[in-house]
Amino acid sequence: MEAVLLTGRTLSQGMGVELGKSSSVYYRSVVTCEMNAEDMRRLGVAPGDPVRIITEHGSVVVRVVEALEEVPQGVIFIPYGPMINAIIGPETHGTGMPSFKGISVKLKVGGTAIPRGPGTQPRGNEEE
């Protein structure tokens, strides 16, 4: 399935940052992918299932969650963090900041490269 990736901050991510980036609260907040419920059905995934997110710069595996707020069909949301950093290109287009919004991605059901917990590094780019 193809989708458009949006990124940003979340309340749980902010709480995790306050506790420290090695906290389980932060970790759980940045290894999720919010999706529209209809897209989840179409892809055949349930909350908690692993999904590989693929861009031209790499791939990572995250866990799917149903979006709490409205996320349009064909759009996914992943919080800022190490997972996003692994799949975003370095080009800044003169702004000094890479593009973190409107990125074309492919989603593939499954994967095992999710970090095991706080303090581990995302392995990304590993194909199964």
Tens of pLDDT, residue by residue over 38-88, are 999 999 999 999 999 999 888 999 999 998 888 899 999 998 888 888 888
pLDDT of amino acid 50: 94
Asked if residue 119 belongs to a domain, the reply is: no
Asked if residue 76 belongs to a domain, the reply is: yes
- Please provide the average confidence, as pLDDT, over all residues in the chain: 78
Mean pLDDT (whole number) for 8-34: 67
Tally of domains within the chain: 1
Asked if residue 122 belongs to a domain, the reply is: no
Share of the chain above pLDDT 70, in %: 69
Asked if residue 120 belongs to a domain, the reply is: no
Q: Which amino acid is at 9?
A: R
Cα separation, 64 vs 45, in Å, equals: 8
Asked if residue 81 belongs to a domain, the reply is: yes
Q: Does residue 62 contact residue 51 with C-beta atoms inside 8 Å?
A: yes
Residue bearing the bigger pLDDT, 86 or 104: 104
Domain encompassing residue 24: 2-109
Confidence (pTM): 0.75
Helix (H, G, I), strand (E, B), or coil: what is residue 29?
Answer: helix
Is residue 117 scored above 70 in pLDDT? no
Tokens (6 digits) for 3: 């989708």
Tell me, what CATH number does 100's domain have? 2.40.40.20
Asked if residue 102 belongs to a domain, the reply is: yes
Neighbours of 117 (CB within 10 A): 11
Asked if residue 126 belongs to a domain, the reply is: no
Asked if residue 73 belongs to a domain, the reply is: yes
